Structure 1
Amino acid sequence: MTSEATSAETSAETSAEGPAERSAKTGGDGGESLRRVAVASFIGTAIEFYDFYCYGTAAALVLNQAFFPTLDPVNATLASFSTYAVAFAARPLGSVLFGHFGDRVGRKSVLVVSLLLMGLSTACVGLLPGYGTWGIWAPVVLTLLRFLQGIGLGGEWGGAALLAVEHAPRSRRGLYAAFPQLGPSVGFFAATGVFWLLSSVLDDAAFRSWGWRVPFLVSFLLVGVGLFVRLKISETPVFTKVRDAQEAARVPVVDVLRTHPRELLLAAGGMIVAYGLFYTATTYCLAYATGTLGIARSTMLGLSLVACLFLAAGTWLAATRSDAAGRRRLILAGSVLAAGWGLVLFPLLDTAQPVLIALGVGGALFCMGVVYGPMGAYLPELFSTRVRYSGASLAYNLGGVLGGAVAPLVATRLQSAFGSASVGWYLSAMAVLSLLCVLALPETRARELT
């Protein structure tokens, strides 16, 4: 090839790149902006998922006795998990609400509102009197606050993922989308760590009386940190172009249902295994190990901290590799791994040996991370810019209803009726369902976002 041809080819390639892609190569101000966006998307999702997981941990450990003391142990646990599931029903509503304004007004401003709603709802749980003080109103208000948590988180993930993806160069979207995808790992680690610390330093009576409230009250501080970071970032260039051209959708959710129904349903199905693995391996297994197997609360929380490292490793590995290997291929690989690990998880747990429990839960969370990591770029790439916030958020959170909301409830009933092995088969079935859904979707890593 002649030098003139090479020069012309390089020039054409450079002219086809967006400003973010060119600046990332040169390491100029755009690169600095990308780092700021990555940090903002990571910190925001970490804080919001910390809030969300505080409730899940408390639901497994203490909310059944604090708010449902008149029920027998199994039904009290089911009632506690039912208030936990309410947030998953609310999350698609949050997707529609925040997605509407995110696709019409902008990603940044909507993310600030979602952070405020989530943080304040969480902090108020820490201030809520128990059943002994407020009677029936205590679980009623608890359910309302959990519903508001769900609305807030329903708008969070899509905006954070779009913030990273729409700022990033095409060849590195998986890398930058890895940062908001790490938010759940860090949020879960932080929430579990705070509960573990309190369980270690407080006796059981103090923990159940007031200690469990401390993680919720910490949210007041975290909201301030999150707002400080998010107010410093700029709107995404992809959305700015659509807004300036006055091409924003009038009713984004209607446009999603009209133009992307297949992508919406299949992507939601693809997310089922990630949610099912996570909430079975964390919330349900925590309740099962401490309640049925008799493992000490502090021990199980410590093992959950170790297992969380597997989640972070799987998420980062798959998300960053997806730029070269493809999003779809890695998600399919994670689903296959999950189908096999579902049959291994509970035999490992039932040994009641700490090392094997950590291996079982850690392996499940690693499989979840391999599926979940590439989704940060994959879901936004499936939808057009005009409806991307609504489409990606709705697919993500509909998967949560099907995989996350019911998983602890179904697992509790299955274990009670058929033994723990049936819960493993349930996990494997969800993995196969997600595998089939993703097989019907295309690869997206080479797609342009505009």
Structure 2
Amino acid sequence: MTNTATHKKTPAKAAIASWVGTTLEYYDFAVYGTAAALVFNVLFFPEELPAGIKVLLSMATFAIGFVVRPLGAFILGPLGDRFGRKFVMMITLFGIGACTFLIGCLPTYDQVGILAPILLVVIRILQGLSVSGEQASAITMTLEHAPDNRRSFATSFVTSGSASGGLLATAVFIPFAALPQEVLLGWAWRVPFWLSAVVVVVAYIIRRTLEEPPAFLETQAIKVSLSPLKQATRFHWVTITRIAACAMIAGVSYLFASFSISFATVGYGLDQATMLWVPVCASFLAILYTPLGGVLADRIGRRTVFIIGAVGAGLTTVPYLWAITQGNWPLIFVLGILCNGFFYSTANAAWPAFFAEMFPSRVRVSGLATGTQIGFAIAGAIGPVASTALAGADLTNWVGPAALAIGLMLIATISALTAKETRRYTLDEIDDVQQTQLEKDTVTAAIVLPAAR
């Protein structure tokens, strides 16, 4: 049996290590989404195509990285439950970083023709596979190192990293977007992708000394014939489905961070550099507020806080898109910050602990990765691509994208209402509560039967 007595919980180190990795993941997400809205539609597709079609194709390359995420979850999730949370966190760190850097090296359509978008899609697929295990492993690592009364607060730093990455990426892009168009399209757009290497180095230095949490080491003392993925899909498929539906609220964030920029700049001719300040301000608020949302979820419950955030984010998307059509900058900033910086961050603060505590330790990474990545894949495809299609060829229709945001909000909220509140349970009690009776019988048999022989 593995001796866990010498392995202490290190909540601060786990939270920081997870925060840095998620910062890299969302730096990639934000820098790619921004480039898809401002650059890729021009550089990677034939010039003769209508502007709206090129934006749609560009958003499709953004979405493909989400479509493959469930496949990556099926691969990396079980590795996290079998070989360790840190093991997967190191794999994903270098996978995400390498792909982001390589995108900055790609040739354009004018240079190599149709090969340009093909290479972009291939790297985006590899990137999506890498990302799919990062967040689930980081959340699980942080959750299992955290004190029982501060699990939501601790795991909120993982999603706070998403705001940090978004802020960093958009802030990096702002000075380049303000450059003359020929400079931006010539070489300047590549620099934000190359800068990801700095985040990789920092994350590696922090993560290399991180130890596996005691809860994971305890599960290694029990050998079960079923793989973690089979256990998760056989015994917890209802929970995986619930999480996938809840995770679709992320489509509102993707709509905000990617579609709304092209909607404003292409559809209504608003200034690019000024528009990029909206997600910067929202991300700045999110960095400060997300841990407070985590504290709130520890106090009044994960489910309650998640629903408040999901409903608020969905509802405020409607006036935010309308404000863009009016070119009303004060309203655009106020509503954008309220939508993404406050309400979506409220949901973002609660869901890491909310979702992770729906699974026992033995299959936590497998179940969490599978459920979230299915939901994020659907949301990532629906958010920017469907919004762009609903906005019309000239990207001026705001009603369709607004209705889509409301639909995603309803799916997430109704699904969350079916979940159990776990804030008062210890992790050992969660294992007992969340394991199905059939799963308990399977584990018991694995321990007792060999001894009986």
TM-score for both structures, normalised by structure 1: 0.90
Q: Is the 8 A contact 1:178 1:374 kept in 2?
A: yes
Q: Which residue in 2 is equivalent to 1:69?
A: 46
How far apart are residue 53 of structure 1 and its match?
1.8
Offset, 1:110: 1.1
Offset at 1:19? 8.0
Equivalent residue in structure 2 for 1:198, among 173, 176, 189: 176
Give identity over the alignment, percent: 31
Aligned match for 2:128, one of 134, 147, 150: 150
Q: Which residue in 2 is equivalent to 1:355?
A: 330
Q: Which residue of 2 aligns with 1:5?
A: none
Q: Which residue of 1 aligns with 2:212?
A: 235
Q: Secondary structure at the match of 1:174?
A: helix
**1:358-437 equivalent positions in 2, closer than 5 A:** 358-365=333-340, 366-416=342-392, 419-437=397-415
CA contact (8 A) 1:381 1:447 kept: no
Contact 1:161–1:380 (CA<8 Å) still a contact in 2? Answer: yes
Aligned to 2:11: 34
What is the DSSP-based 3-state SS (H/G/I as helix, E as strand, rest coil) of the residue aligned with 1:127?
coil
The 2-side partners of 1:313 and 1:428 are apart by: 26
Distance verdict in 2 for CA 1:331–1:249, change over 3 Å: farther
The match for 1:441 among 419, 423, 436 is: 419
Please show how residues 20-99 of structure 1 align to structure 2 within 5 Å: 33-70=10-47, 71-99=49-77
Question: How do residues 135-284 of structure 1 correspond to structure 2 at under 5 angstroms?
Answer: 135-200=113-178, 202-243=179-220, 245-247=221-223, 250-273=226-249, 275-284=250-259
Shift of 1:309: 2.6
Contact 1:90–1:150 under 8 Å retained in 2: yes
Decide whether aligned partners of structure 1 residues 430 and 249 sit closer, same or farther in structure 2, where only a CA change above 3 A counts.
farther
**Shift, 1:294, TM fit:** 0.8
Runs (4+) off by over 6 Å: none
Residues 98 and 110 in structure 1, CA contact (< 8 A), matched pair in contact too: yes
Moved more, 426-435 or 347-356: 347-356
Summarize the Cα distance change of 1:285–1:339 in structure 2 as closer, same or farther, 3 Å threshold. Answer: closer
Note if contact 1:314-1:368 (Cα within 8 Å) is conserved in structure 2: no
Q: Which amino acid aligns with 1:276?
A: G
2:56 maps to amino acid: L
Residue 92 of structure 2 is matched in structure 1 by: 114
Instruction: Please give the per-residue CA displacement for 1:224-250, whole angstroms capped at 9, x wherever unaligned.
Output: 22111110110111101111x133674
What do residues 142-183 of structure 1 show as CA deviations (whole Å, max 9, x unaligned)?
Answer: 101111111111010001101110001111101110111101
The change in CA–CA distance for 1:326 and 1:360 in structure 2 (over 3 A counts) is same
Could you list the runs of 5+ residues in structure 2 that have no partner in the other structure? 429-453
Instruction: Confirm whether residue 331 of structure 1 aligns to residue 342 of structure 2.
Output: no
> C-alpha separation between the residues in 1 aligned to 2:361 and 2:131?
21
The answer to whether the Cα contact below 8 Å between 2:137 and 2:365 also exists between their aligned partners in 1 is yes
Residues 182, 414 of structure 1: alpha-carbon distance in 2 compared, 3 angstrom cutoff: same
| Contact 2:156/2:350, CA 8 A, preserved across alignment | yes
User: 1:65 offset after TM fit, Å?
Assistant: 1.0
Letter in 2 for 1:224: V
Residue of 276, 293, 297 corresponding to 2:268: 293
Asked whether the equivalents of residues 247 and 386 of structure 1 are also in contact (C-alpha less than 8 Å), the reply is: no
Q: Cα–Cα, structure 1 residues 408 and 385, in superposed 2: closer, same or farther, change >3 Å?
A: same
Q: Give the number of equivalent residue pairs.
A: 421
Task: Give the match for residue 431 of structure 2.
Answer: none
Give the CA deviation at 1:314: 4.8
**SS of the residue 1:350 aligns to:** helix
2:326 and 2:286 mapped to 1: Cα distance? 22
Find the counterpart in structure 1 of residue 80 from structure 2.
102
Give 1:370 deviation, angstroms.
1.3
Aligned-pair distance for 1:115?
0.6
SS at match of 2:427: coil
Match of 2:450 in 1: none
- Residue 449 (structure 1) shift: 2.3
CA 1:232–1:126 in 2, change beyond 3 Å: closer, same or farther? same
TM-score by length of 2: 0.89
Q: Relative to 1, partners in 2 of residues 1:56 and 1:339: Cα closer, same or farther, differing over 3 Å? A: closer
Is the contact made by 2:20 and 2:199 (CA closer than 8 Å) also made in structure 1? no
Task: Report SS of the residue matched to 1:62.
Answer: helix
Query: Does the CA-based 8 Å contact 2:153-2:293 persist in structure 1?
Result: no
- Give the deviation of 1:350 after TM superposition: 1.8
Answer yes or no: is the 8 Å Cα contact 1:67–1:130 preserved in 2.
yes
Q: Which amino acid aligns with 1:393?
A: A
Q: Aligned equivalents of 2:272 and 2:314: distance in 1?
A: 28
* Aligned-residue CA RMSD (Å): 1.9
Q: Deviations over 1:257-298 (max 9, x none)?
A: 11111111111111111x111111110001111111111111
1:34 and 1:385 mapped to 2: Cα distance?
17
Contact 2:310 2:412 survives alignment (8 Å):
yes
Question: Separation in 2 of the partners of 1:76 and 1:248?
Answer: 51
Conservation of the 8 A alpha-carbon contact between 1:314 and 1:367:
no
Bigger relative CO (Cα 8 Å, ≥ 6 apart): 2
| 2:311 partner amino acid | V
